[in-house]
Each structure stands twice: as structure tokens, then as C-alpha cells.
Amino acid sequence: MPKYILECPECGHTTEMILPVEERNTIVCCPGVFMRVKIVTANFRMRHGRPDVIEWKKERGVLDL
């Protein structure tokens, strides 16, 4: 499982968690605000060119262009 740093864009709270990939988008800090996700370590290969990955990164504010 990958290790993530999660940051709330509303209040700035950060935490470090080891989560399954399917649960990383479900973490909420402030009501209705999803936490931003940064991968620290991973045991999988991210496919950056996929449209769904690009859209997910845009929503979370982590798109590196």
C-alpha cells in the first residue's frame, strides 16, 4: 500500500497515512472538503497520460505540468 501525505486545503491540517489506493480519495477533514493527496512512497507505477488520472490531479490541485 502507498504512503500518503494528506493536507486539508481549508484549515491546513496535514497527516501522513498508509492507505489502499481505493480509499485515498475518501478522506475528509473539514465538512465537504476533500484532503489533497501527495504520494510519499508507492509500490505501483502511475500512468500520467490517462485522462482520468489527469482529471483527478486537476480536481486535487496536484497537476504537474
- The pLDDT assigned to 33 comes to 85
- The pLDDT assigned to 14 comes to 87
49 assigned to some structural domain: yes
Task: List pLDDT tens digits, range 28-54.
Answer: 888 888 888 887 765 555 555 667 777
36-41 and 3-7 beta bridge pairing: antiparallel
Q: Number of folded domains in the chain?
A: 1
Q: What is the mean pLDDT of residues 1-19?
A: 83
Segments forming the whole domain that contains residue 21? 3-60
Residue 61 near residue 34 (C-beta atoms within 8 A): no
- The pLDDT assigned to 23 comes to 81
65 assigned to some structural domain: no
Provide the grid cell at 11.
Answer: 484549515
- The pLDDT assigned to 48 comes to 53
Q: Does pTM top 0.75 for this prediction?
A: no
Residue 52 near residue 43 (C-beta atoms within 8 A): no
22 assigned to some structural domain: yes
27 assigned to some structural domain: yes
55 assigned to some structural domain: yes
